[in-house]
Homo-oligomer: A and B are copies of this chain.
């Protein structure tokens, strides 16, 4: 029996804007940041849970304040009780009727809940001595169902339907776990494609990505059509005619503009167009998807919650679903997303990059492979090669694949030295990444 005795937060910001890593049509100068939380107990094992929300700089302090607003739900609580029923624990935060007003289930407060839920999962996985993907993959279908909040979902996915999906996947779990451990999970890379990079750097990084074995490259677009044509021509010439090239507009366009722009780039044989317009626009994405087919529409990194994903699927508005590990209410809500995708037969290709998103989201895709969709077909996890050195268990990406984590936990723990060096004090310390 132990008690939660500390909920410590930290405002961490990396000065990434100095090198235009992460620059795109909507985010000119991101400083990749994390509103970070550490949950401590009085148990003798000394284990802590770590979670965070990824942000891009200003406002990270507000995100930290939102996490602090949840302390009252944690401090003094029995740890084992909270960890044993993570469904109920998640609802404790999510259904706080006063906090709910600030969303509901969207934006800063929702992401804060996600950070805390994920920190508790990290602690539970560490206590179990397993990586999170393995812990989740060992739960029974009913235990998994108990994690999901089906409110607002039942017109598209009932608990019984979700149970069927999980039960169907059960017999193959052991074989798929072995396969995952052996070959890993496919990755694709966005590292070559940032808008701020020179043409030479773009070509060199494309060559390197192909050589490293990545099965797909993604380029940022949407600032200037002529530039996009030139950069896609360079990329296409570098990687050859059959290599999958995706593009990402980061919400730059209105619906008619998106249709016109993507149509104008048709010659480059695009694998998908990502975030063509507002992440809130279900009907807009559906109209774009109809107009630009066979180019697929991918979206989800800014999808606020399961209700929007549900509609995106109902309306056939996306053909590639990009879940994000710190945009929503945590692992529990991500499981709802995976179940929705499985129901509608849509591949999940998670958003990653940022600070620690690769480290965390890989657990969800691996769990999906073992216990939900049961397939890696058409699936891959985004990979961006920066800031991994700040994590205790950085991703192991080789030959275009994420290799399955073996260390206990959710992948979310940052190095103490990194927290110290990049703790925000009102200005960047001048240390470059």
Binds B, one of A135-143, A280-288, A343-351, A411-419: A280-288
A63 cross-chain contacts in B, Cβ below 8 A = 102
A26 to B100, CA, bound (A): 9
A69 cross-chain contacts in B, Cβ below 8 A = 58-59, 61-62
A302 cross-chain contacts in B, Cβ below 8 A = 104
| Copies of this protein in the complex | 2
Is A165 positioned at the interface, with any CB of B under 8 Å from its CB?
no
A29 to B96, CA, bound (A): 10
Given known A-B contacts A62-B62, A284-B152, A307-B278, A56 and B101 have beta carbons under 8 A apart? yes
Q: Is the CB of B59 within 8 A of A98?
A: yes
Is A315 positioned at the interface, with any CB of B under 8 Å from its CB?
yes
A308 to B315, CA, bound (A): 15
Q: Is the CB of A287 within 8 A of B155?
A: yes
Binds B, one of A251-259, A262-270, A364-372, A391-399: A251-259
Is A154 positioned at the interface, with any CB of B under 8 Å from its CB?
yes
Question: How far in angstroms is the closest Cβ of chain B from A412?
Answer: 19
Which range contains the number of A residues in contact with the other chain? 35 or more
| A38-60, CB < 8 A from B | 55-59
Q: Is the CB of B108 within 8 A of A283?
A: no
Question: How far in angstroms is the closest Cβ of chain B from A36?
Answer: 16
Is A6 positioned at the interface, with any CB of B under 8 Å from its CB?
no
A278 to B302, CA, bound (A): 18
A278 to B104, CA, bound (A): 9
| A235-279, CB < 8 A from B | 251, 254-256, 277-279
* A positions within 8 Å CB-CB of B: 26-31, 55-59, 61-63, 65-66, 69, 72, 96-111, 150-155, 251, 254-256, 277-284, 287, 302, 304-305, 307-308, 310-311, 314-315
